[in-house]
Chain A
Amino acid sequence: MAIFDIIGPVMIGPSSSHTAGANRIGYMAALCYGSPFHSVEIKLYNSFASTGFGHGTDRAIVAGLLGFKMDDERIPHAFEIAKKRHLSYNFRKSYKRDHHPNEVRIVFNRGSNHSFLIRGVSIGAGKAKITQVQDDDVEFGGDHAILLLNYQDITGMIGFIGGVLGKYKVNVAYMKSSRNALIGTAMAMLKLDEECPQDAIEELKRHSDIHRVISIRKLNNEY
């Protein structure tokens, strides 16, 4: 937090957590998904479910998915714009104590057997975090550029990833890795000072044991 979090952010009202934060989850989710999409299912939890309607939480999320930021005056018209752009969405509500008070689950659907799940929480003052991507537990806001990798749990993978990043002079600010022993995959979440260059991403993708690479730019100075 700093001075522009006090005098700011510039945002569409009425609530920094229920409107701006919700918008940011939608915006980051679309960046994570990274390809065009035409159908999403959105589940609102707890406080988002009970007071979301009055706060425009639903429209703010759809606006974020359309790529509108929290200060975009198109947010109140997000539903109409989604219709024009052939984005279909539906909302569900859930009240569960073991979920964050301001949580959203977004599922991107393509065809009948492709779906992609992203979960995020709004943590106040217009800030938000993505907490889950598919089966991987993650945690990132917009303070750093992010690189998310999902790969086969075999030896030498972290060394390979580090080698590629080093070659492209990408500095790693933070790294977390974990594995899913049941299905033999692992994931790494890296926070970077600068966005990972496209060439490095391509090189990582070419490795046959790396299943998924998601790269997101740093957001916090955009608002």
Chain B
Amino acid sequence: MSIKEIPNRIRIRSTQDIRHYLKSYPFKGLTDFFMEYESRNRLLPKTEVYKRMQSTLIVMKESIAKGKAKVNRTPSGLINGGCHTFLNNMPNTIHLMGEWFNTVIANTLAVSELNACMGRIVATPTAGACGVMPGAFLTICDKFSIPEDKQIQSLFIAGGMGELIQINASLSGSQHGCQAEVGSASAITASAIVALFEVSLDKIENAAALAMSNLLGLVCDPVAGLVEFPCVHRNIVGSVNAIACAQMALAGLTSPIPFDEVVSAMKQIGDDLPASLKETSRGGLAITPTGLRIQRKVRDEDPEKAY
């Protein structure tokens, strides 16, 4: 096939489109493709696009440190120093898995709690699911001392996979439930982890497809409508799932259903989910007796409730 000049506007709807672009145009690989995509979409030079991802990565790293540095509490009491307690109790607690497993949990908790307490985070892909990427991906980068450049390259690939979810379904809990938030976060994090070790679109796609498949049907039922419980703890499911699926994909396991079709399934399930389970707090954990009690307490504390 002849190599043509890269078109001004790059449009993708499927992994098939990405394969087509990579085959037909002189891209230097998957990261280069997504950088070019972003550069052309935003009318920004590629060097700027790279710099922006670099500064985003710095904020993501800071969010782990900041989340761990203090005891995170919210007025509702739903966030009550969980990460702090977890780290403090760890020396006297049995370690069910290795130490890194606990670090994944602590880092995810740290960022998700920081978000709940109005701290600065990177919404990847949403604020509610912001603990997954730092908790899983950055912990692995740390474990394997991955150079910064490689981390940035992998984040572009994760962003590209997320873009496909955004285009074909959505990333919003109010539209498609938690599967669209933590499910998507887990899928793109799995792809980022694979990309650290093997830039193979097949393996990246398999990791993302497996991770998303595992979380299909996850509902959004936040207690008192707050991004606190079960959101924070579900982020850990997303992190652990991302690592497991990346490990499976790296070992050559494949998803019987391709990524694009899993994303369509997520959309269809999300459309079928009743509104009570899509961020309205009218179902699930939000309407348990305890959930409703917490909701009343939160509303009573609102200084403007009189209006």
Chain A residues lying within 8 Å of B75, measured Cβ to Cβ, are: 54
Least distance between A133 CB and chain B CB atoms (Å): 25
Are A125 and B160 CB-contacts (below 8 A) given A2-B38, A4-B56, A50-B225?
no
Chain B residues lying within 8 Å of A13, measured Cβ to Cβ, are: 114-121, 127, 130, 227
Q: For B185, give the chain A residue with the smallest CB separation.
A: A6
Residue among A6, A12, A53, A58 with the most chain B CB within 10 A? Answer: A6
Q: Complex: how many Å from CA A91 to CA B303?
A: 10
A14-22, A108-116, A146-154, A200-208 - the one binding chain B: A14-22
For window 218-265 of chain B, which residues contact chain A by CB distance below 8 Å?
Answer: 224-228
Least distance between A123 CB and chain B CB atoms (Å): 10
Interface string of B81-123 (1 = CB under 8 A from A): 0000000000000000000000000000000001111111111
A contact residues, range: 35 or more
Is there contact, CB below 8 Å, between A11 and B120? yes
Q: Complex: how many Å from CA A9 to CA B167?
A: 17
Is there contact, CB below 8 Å, between A75 and B118? yes
Least distance between B67 CB and chain A CB atoms (Å): 10
Interface string of B141-184 (1 = CB under 8 A from A): 00000000000000110111011001100011011000000000
Chain A residues lying within 8 Å of B125, measured Cβ to Cβ, are: 5-7, 125
A7 in complex: contacting residue of B120, B162, B281, B298, CB < 8 Å: B162
A14 in complex: contacting residue of B118, B133, B166, CB < 8 Å: B118
Chain B residues lying within 8 Å of A58, measured Cβ to Cβ, are: 304
Is there contact, CB below 8 Å, between A2 and B41? yes
Is there contact, CB below 8 Å, between B126 and A125? yes
Chain A residues lying within 8 Å of B128, measured Cβ to Cβ, are: 14-16
Least distance between B207 CB and chain A CB atoms (Å): 16
A54 in complex: contacting residue of B76, B115, B120, B123, CB < 8 Å: B76
Is there contact, CB below 8 Å, between B225 and A51? yes
Least distance between A136 CB and chain B CB atoms (Å): 27
- B65 on the interface (CB 8 Å rule)? no
Is there contact, CB below 8 Å, between A11 and B172? no
A124 in complex: contacting residue of B41, B42, B174, B298, CB < 8 Å: B174
- A209 on the interface (CB 8 Å rule)? no
Chain B residues lying within 8 Å of A125, measured Cβ to Cβ, are: 123, 125-126, 171-172
Least distance between B219 CB and chain A CB atoms (Å): 17
Is there contact, CB below 8 Å, between B115 and A9? no
Is there contact, CB below 8 Å, between B117 and A3? no
Least distance between B80 CB and chain A CB atoms (Å): 15
Chain B residues lying within 8 Å of A141, measured Cβ to Cβ, are: none
Q: Complex: how many Å from CA A26 to CA B42?
A: 24
Interface string of B57-90 (1 = CB under 8 A from A): 0010000000000000011100000000000000
- B302 on the interface (CB 8 Å rule)? yes
Is there contact, CB below 8 Å, between A8 and B123? yes
- A10 on the interface (CB 8 Å rule)? yes
Q: For A91, give the chain B residue with the smallest CB separation.
A: B304
Q: List 15 A-B contacts (CB under 8 A).
A: A3-B159, A4-B56, A5-B166, A7-B155, A8-B56, A11-B123, A14-B117, A19-B127, A20-B127, A54-B298, A56-B118, A71-B59, A71-B120, A124-B175, A125-B171
| B interface residues with partner A (beta carbon < 8 Å) | 34, 37-38, 41-42, 44, 52-53, 55-56, 59, 74-76, 114-128, 130, 133, 155-156, 158-160, 162-163, 166-167, 171-172, 174-175, 188, 224-228, 281, 298, 301-304, 307
- 20 new A-B contacts, CB < 8 A, other than A3-B37, A6-B188, A7-B158, are A2-B42, A2-B163, A3-B160, A3-B163, A5-B166, A6-B125, A6-B163, A7-B133, A10-B120, A10-B123, A12-B121, A13-B116, A13-B127, A14-B128, A14-B226, A14-B228, A15-B127, A16-B128, A54-B74, A54-B298
